[in-house]
Amino acid sequence: MIVEYGDTPTRTIEAGTDPLGGYGDDVAPIADIRPDDGETVVRTDFPVHKADGGVVDTVLVATAGHSGEHDVLVLYAAPLTAVDHTTGTLLFYLLCGVPLLIVVAGLTTYLFSGRALRPVEAIRAQVAEMTEKDLEQRVPVPPARDEVGRLAETMNAMIARLQDAQGVQRRFVADASHELRSPLATIATGLELMQNGTVDRSTITALRGETSRLNKLVEALILLARADERGLQPRREEVDLDEVAEGERGRPADGAVVAEVRTVPVRVVGDRGQLSRVVRNLVDNARRHARSRVLVTVGRDGDTAVLEVSDDGPGVPQADRARVFERFVRLDDARARSDGGSGLGLAIVAEVVAAHGGTVEVADGPAGGALFRVRIPAAPAPDAHPEKAAPAPAA
């Protein structure tokens, strides 16, 4: 539609096939839209009154121009009926489709999550059925190599460790019971003899020996139980390791081989009582196996104190060198029992040395027997601040 406006009344010059749905020549409202010369104005909410009295919202595009001596306005209008229909249809589908989509997505998530968590439920059910009596069972491992599969493998590894720990505990209790039975039986027999009045000096000596053995065994069991519960937690004080080793020089051997001691001054930080037990246990072990010689040496290797105890006995086979530090292990069971060994001495050595931040190992000794080497961090040397030398007195 082209509308002329200016000083003369506004009138329609040319109209399209549908001149704005019934405006006819009454174009004053349209003429109120007067953009600047060359400017285009777009109205998206322009109402058009139809001949039947209805109103249609239209989109109106107006451009100002000239036709000869007259100012004209070029207008294009299109109804928004199709747009409104499309918008209504889209809104309908959104209102109906979004809830349906949410329901479908929820069901799909539930089904897939249930399938993904099914192996986890199988693991939980298996663990819930397990007791301390059937730790040989294992949780099922799914075929997929994902996080759930790794969780199952970790659970099985943990159960295996628990099974091993339970086995160690059961063996410990069984061995301890066996070790306690022998001295208790001897003491009970001696008490019966005392009751009958037939006790001689040899019986009293045997009872004293069994009582001492029982006391040492109980002390060893208490020490190892404390180590298992919360660690040994040794006192931290400076200890002259060479002096501790020198104490073995004068200790009675009770008919066994006398220990030869060679030391150099070296100091460590630790518990003197526990370190004395380490030296004593190693020397006692060497005496039980030595033929004629036990050698104790203490030295220093850089920042490490080194304690070595060797003998000229049969030595320790390569395959048994790690096992000798386990509890109640005897490589020569009958001989160790007759010599009073309980199988706990070297286990205590390993626990005490570890509590002091050190290591213990077995090697071949210089005399062909076994050599037990303990390495513990040495105490830092005190700072040396030598005084300035005084001048020599005048002659």
Q: DSSP for 194-240?
A: HHHT---HHHHHHHHHHHHHHHHHHHHHHHHHHHHHH------EEEE
Q: Are residues 308 and 288 in the same domain?
A: yes
Residue 6, sorted as left (phi over 0), alpha (psi -120 to 50) or beta, turns out to be left
At 248, list the tokens: 């073995």
Kindly indicate the confidence band of residue 372, based on its pLDDT and cuts at 50, 70 and 90.
Answer: very high
375, containing H or E segment: strand 370-377
Q: Are residues 245 and 172 in the same domain?
A: no
Q: What is the pLDDT of residues 235-259, one digit of tens each?
A: 899 999 999 999 888 777 666 788 8
> Which of 187, 213, 230 is the last residue in one of the domains?
230
Structural domains of the chain, count: 3
Q: Are residues 154 and 266 in the same domain?
A: no
* 295 occurs within a structural domain: yes
Kindly indicate the confidence band of residue 298, based on its pLDDT and cuts at 50, 70 and 90.
Answer: very high
Question: What is the rounded distance in angstroms from the CA atom of residue 224 to the CA atom of residue 171?
Answer: 14
Q: Residue 374: phi, psi to the nearest 5?
A: -110, 130
Kindly indicate the confidence band of residue 53, based on its pLDDT and cuts at 50, 70 and 90.
Answer: low
Q: What is the pLDDT of residues 255-289, one digit of tens each?
A: 678 889 999 999 999 999 999 999 999 998 999 88
Predicted TM-score (pTM) of this structure = 0.56
* 242 occurs within a structural domain: yes
What is the average pLDDT score of the chain?
A: 79
pLDDT at 385: 44
Measured between alpha carbons, how far is residue 113 from residues 92, 98, 101, 103 in Å? 32, 22, 18, 15
| DSSP character at residue 95 | H
CATH classification at residue 154: 1.10.287.130
Q: What is the pLDDT of residues 59-73, one digit of tens each?
A: 778 787 776 667 777
Q: Are residues 349 and 369 in the same domain?
A: yes
pLDDT at 3: 54
Residue 74's closest CA among 96, 50, 47, 41? 41
Kindly indicate the confidence band of residue 197, based on its pLDDT and cuts at 50, 70 and 90.
Answer: confident
Q: What is the pLDDT of residues 7-17, one digit of tens each?
A: 444 444 444 44
**Contact assessment for residue 250 and residue 243, using Cβ atoms and an 8 Å cutoff:** no
Domain of 208 in residue numbering reads as: 147-230
Residue 350 Cα to chain centre, angstroms? 25
